[in-house]
Structure 1
């Protein structure tokens, strides 16, 4: 579990194709340097979020650590596009003493998104993202949270639909703390939506399916309830 508050930006110093168990076979092993700030209390097997992806530390020294990236992870995230010199957001897993300044982040990437545009607004930057899987848009709400490459960001605007998108604004301070600020239109980012929305959706669907049966019946029941409440409000 993570908070979505990036602790430090590291640099990929080495990539190796792997066929061993460290990467799940056929994956990639990453060595990330410039991470001394988060390695003082590190242990083998610890979880570190790398661009929003929960990975396991397989070795480390005072300034760098190594993780294995399985083939499935390479397919579902942007980690496969990393090269030597790429900068990545890093965060250690939460501890009992961690202050929750962001939101609950699992480090399980739901989809990737493409930077559609970057628009300056004073000293801030507004980023528009278009997801690879439009289905995740139902979990993205204005003023809600979304995790971009491991950074917890607030949604400022959202447009649903097949060609839907959402926007976030990076203030000057945040621009210095996350790799997102350096992204350009066409670049790809990892996305994890707020898991609370998933649990709410499943709970509500389960309730209505148990009493009404099926997706159409769920919608019909909700519409009927809204109509009834409106008629009561009008005194009819």
Structure 2
């Protein structure tokens, strides 16, 4: 679990499509340097989010670390496009007892989005992003949470039909995350707020159960809630 509060920006040293070393596991791997501030308490097998993607540390030094990349990770994220020298957002998994500054971020990227517009707004920057998977639009709501390359941000405007949303990035955030170095057309990783997914799952299951019982799902569910409230007040 992560919070979307980026701890530092690392730099890509190597992206290997086939890493035959023990740490590479005969698959794709990514090595990140300038990461000393997130490695002081690191152990093999720990989770570190790279651009919002939860990954397992397979090798590390005082300043750098390596992670393996599964095919699913390469399909879902922008990590496969990284080149040596690129900056990436880094965040360690949340430790118990620490202040929770962002929102619940799993590090499970849903899809990518293309940067459609970058508009300066006084000392802030407004970004317009177009989501690759339209099925995710119901989970993106005005003033709701969203993680972009692992950065916890607040949604401003949403257009479901045209599949875009906007966010505003304040000056402080601009100095501490990778997004301001990107251009129109670049891809960013998107993770929608998982709480919306849980609400949909529970509600759908309840309504489906009512329908299977031969009841009008929505009407029956509302009637039961009203009856329960009236019973408590009686």
Give the TM-score normalised by structure 1.
0.88
Task: Give yes or no for contact 2:154–2:167 (8 Å, CA) kept in 1.
Answer: yes
Q: Secondary structure at the match of 2:74?
A: helix
Matched, 1:54 2:54: yes
Match of 2:187 in 1: 188
Task: Give yes or no for contact 1:24–1:71 (8 Å, CA) kept in 2.
Answer: no
Task: Give yes or no for contact 1:29–1:68 (8 Å, CA) kept in 2.
Answer: yes
Task: Give yes or no for contact 1:29–1:66 (8 Å, CA) kept in 2.
Answer: yes
The offset of 1:82, in angstroms, is 0.2
Match of 2:171 in 1: 172
Summarize the Cα distance change of 1:6–1:50 in structure 2 as closer, same or farther, 3 Å threshold: same
Task: Give yes or no for contact 1:23–1:70 (8 Å, CA) kept in 2.
Answer: no
Q: Unpaired segments of 5 or more residues in structure 2?
A: 227-234
Match of 2:198 in 1: 199
The offset of 1:155, in angstroms, is 0.4
Q: Secondary structure at the match of 2:62?
A: coil
Task: Give yes or no for contact 1:110–1:192 (8 Å, CA) kept in 2.
Answer: yes
State the alpha-carbon separation in 2 of the partners of residues 203 and 111 from structure 1.
Answer: 23
Q: Secondary structure at the match of 1:18?
A: strand
Give the TM-score normalised by structure 2.
0.88
Give CA deviations for 1:81-140 in whole Å, capped at 9, x if unaligned: 000001000000011122111011111110110001011100100001101001101001
Q: What is the number of residues matched between the two proteins?
A: 221
The offset of 1:24, in angstroms, is 6.1
Aligned residues: CA RMSD:
2.2
Matched, 1:96 2:96: yes
